[in-house]
C-alpha cells in the first residue's frame, strides 16, 4: 500500500535526531524561501542546500528524485508538488 510507504518515510524523517534540513540552517532556509523573485529564491535555496552535511544532502536528493516521480503521476494520484510540500515540508524543516 502506497500510504504505508509514505507514512514510513514520514515516520523515519520525524525520528531523525535532527531534521533533515538541520536546526542550524533553519533560519537560512526560511530567509531563502521568502524571496519574492523566483530565480533568486532558487539560487538562495541551492546555496543553503550546499551547506547541508553530506549524508543529509544525499538523502534530500533521493527524496526529491522520488517526489519528481510521484508528481509525474499527479493526474492519477493527486499528489501535486503543493500537496507533497504540505505533507512532507514540516517533517523536513522543523
Q: How far is CA 58 from CA 22, 27, 44, 46, 73, in A?
A: 14, 21, 19, 14, 24
Q: Output the tens digit of pLDDT for each of the chain's 94 residues.
A: 788 988 999 999 999 999 999 999 999 999 999 999 999 999 999 999 999 999 999 999 999 999 999 999 999 998 999 999 999 999 998 8
Task: Note the pLDDT of residue 81.
Answer: 93
Sorted by where each begins, the domain ranges of the chain are 2-24+53-92
Task: Note the pLDDT of residue 3.
Answer: 84
CA 74 and chain centroid, separation: 17
Task: Note the pLDDT of residue 67.
Answer: 94
Residues 37, 28, 55: CA angle, nearest 5 degrees: 115
CA 58, CA 32: separation in Å to the nearest integer? 20
Amino acid at each position: 500500500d502506497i500510504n504505508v510507504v509514505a507514512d514510513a518515510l514520514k515516520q523515519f524523517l520525524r525520528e531523525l535526531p535532527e531534521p533533515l534540513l538541520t536546526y542550524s540552517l533553519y533560519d537560512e532556509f526560511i530567509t531563502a524561501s521568502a524571496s519574492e523573485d523566483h530565480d533568486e529564491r532558487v539560487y538562495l535555496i541551492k546555496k543553503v542546500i550546499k551547506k547541508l552535511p553530506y549524508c543529509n544532502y544525499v538523502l534530500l536528493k533521493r527524496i526529491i528524485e522520488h517526489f519528481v516521480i510521484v508528481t509525474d503521476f499527479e493526474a492519477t494520484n493527486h499528489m501535486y508538488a503543493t500537496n507533497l510540500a504540505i505533507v512532507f515540508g514540516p517533517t523536513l524543516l522543523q
